[in-house]
Amino acid sequence: MKVELRPVGDRLSLEMDPPGFEAVKAHIEKTYADLMTRTAGIVTLVRFAGSEFIFENEWDEPYLLAETHEGDDLLRAISNHFS
């Protein structure tokens, strides 16, 4: 299972393989009761814990990209959960 952080410009991206995606999705759903999603073209906009993210599942390599520094912190916490 792959769950890892990567820098993308000045933001962080949480990148996963399909099994990692399922684990991350379950963790977010369990941990953040305010989870909301909506489709916007080819991406899904995700919001939880007051932060927004872009989710895309490109060629079976899903990723969640933070839109703020606070989102980066949340992605770090999620990544640490799986370390």
Task: Note the pLDDT tens digit of each residue in 44-72.
Answer: 999 999 999 999 987 778 999 999 999 99
- Are 5 and 13 a contacting pair, CB within 8 Å? yes
DSSP state of 2: -
Tokens of 21: 């995606």
What percentage of the chain has pLDDT greater than the value 90?
Answer: 89
- Are 82 and 21 a contacting pair, CB within 8 Å? no
What percentage of the chain has pLDDT greater than the value 70?
Answer: 100
> In this predicted structure, what is the pLDDT of residue 12?
97
Residues shown for the chain:
83
Is the pLDDT assigned to residue 78 strictly greater than 80?
yes
Quote the pTM value.
0.91
Terminal alpha carbon distance of the chain: 11
Fill in the amino acid letter for 66. Answer: A
